[in-house]
Amino acid sequence: MNWYEKLNQYFPVEEMKSKEHLELLLKEKGDIYHKDEGEHYVIMYVETNDFIFIDYLFVSKEARGEGLGKKLLNKLKKSGKPIILEVEPLDYEDSDSKKRFRFYERAGFQHASSIGYSRKSLATNEVNTLEILYWSPENDSEESIYEKLKQTYKNIHTYKDKELYGQSYQKAEEVLSYNDQSKSGSEKT
């Protein structure tokens, strides 16, 4: 099974980029967009000068619980840059979602409770809400994480979207929200 089939079988359709989109990112944004794969894993990520964004992290069922996911994250952590990722919201009825959150929590990731993410899927036409998790060696603020996430959304998630999908995704400002909880009220920027 090739890398795209592995990702496509694991991730929900509303979260998947097309194979053409991913191949275009690897080809045209290869200076920042990377794929690392092995027999039991695929990781696709963005690495800029000041952060890493994990687009997809897949570990096969056969290799789960053996520390492979932790090794992949630790390899990225060695860069000393904040690491950001999107995950499906925690669903206490779904054991996979609970395991995923526990895995990232044990790896030192925090939930960015100030950042909202809701995007209409071009594949299903449904609104897909995701949670933002991050790891930061320098204790970056959630506002800083939000700005990095906006950059990723504009440069990666919507890259040539109209050309690839026949329509455009929503603008970053419509998908991402930041609610600074240290301010009074529920002001969003």
Note down pLDDT in tens along the chain; length 189 residues: 899 999 999 999 999 999 999 999 999 999 999 999 999 999 999 999 999 999 999 999 899 889 999 999 999 999 999 999 999 887 767 667 788 889 999 999 999 999 999 999 998 889 999 999 999 999 999 999 999 999 999 999 999 999 999 999 999 999 999 998 655 444 444
| pTM of the complete model | 0.92
Phi-psi region of 166 (alpha: psi -120 to 50; beta: other; left: phi over 0): left
Q: Phi/psi of residue 83, each to 5°? A: -120, 130
**Token reading at 66:** 């053996």
What are the phi and psi torsion angles at 177 (to 5°)?
-135, 155
Per-residue CA distances from 6 to 10, 60, 82 (Å): 6, 8, 26
Domains delineated in the chain: 3-178 (3.40.630.30)
Dihedral sign of CA atoms 127, 5, 88, 91 in order: positive
For residues 48 and 51, give the distance between their C-alpha atoms in angstroms, rounded to a whole number: 5
Characterize the bridge pairing of strands 176-178 and 110-111: unpaired
Rounded Cα distance, 50 and 70, in Å: 22
